[in-house]
Amino acid sequence: MLQYIIKVILSALIIVAVSEIGKRSSLFGALVAALPLTSLLAIVWMRLEKVGTDQIARLSGSIFWLVIPSLLFFILFPFLLNRGMAFWFSFAIAAVSTTAAYLLMSRILTAAGIQL
């Protein structure tokens, strides 16, 4: 139970840190947010929990493939905002588009014989 509490607290601290740093400097906030902290933490937690290296390797490979469609959000969202679209509308369009990109990437990878 203590391990779960530590995971939650650490994860929350990272999210708060990114938002607070982002208020002061978009560059440094983006730098912290762009670090694969969530992925690194998940991999470390899995290792500490004695998860096999094959599962950790699969997770790492899947993360790689799914980072590619996630970039669509970070292209589309600021593009829409800079064109005067409302925040929540832009957010929704970018999120739905990214979800569609995830589904498309999943189908492409499946067709190529790559298992996520």
Answer whether residue 94 is part of any domain: yes
Range of the domain at 103: 52-116
Say if 63 falls within a structural domain. Answer: yes
pLDDT digit string, tens, across residues 12-54: 888 898 889 889 998 888 887 777 888 888 899 899 999 999 9
pLDDT band at 74; cut points 50, 70, 90 = very high
115: confidence class by pLDDT, cuts 50, 70, 90: confident
Instruction: Give every CB contact of residue 69 below 8 A, 6+ residues apart in sequence.
Output: 98, 101, 102, 104, 105
Q: Rg (Cα) of the chain, in Å, rounded? A: 17
The number of domains in the chain is: 1
Mean pLDDT of 86-93: 98
Question: What pLDDT score does 2 carry?
Answer: 86
Residue 46: per-residue pLDDT:
93
Whether residue 96 lies inside any domain: the answer is: yes
Structure tokens at 1: 């139970």
Residue 47, domain member (yes or no): no
Q: Specify the pLDDT at position 36.
A: 85
Is the residue at 5 inside a domain?
no
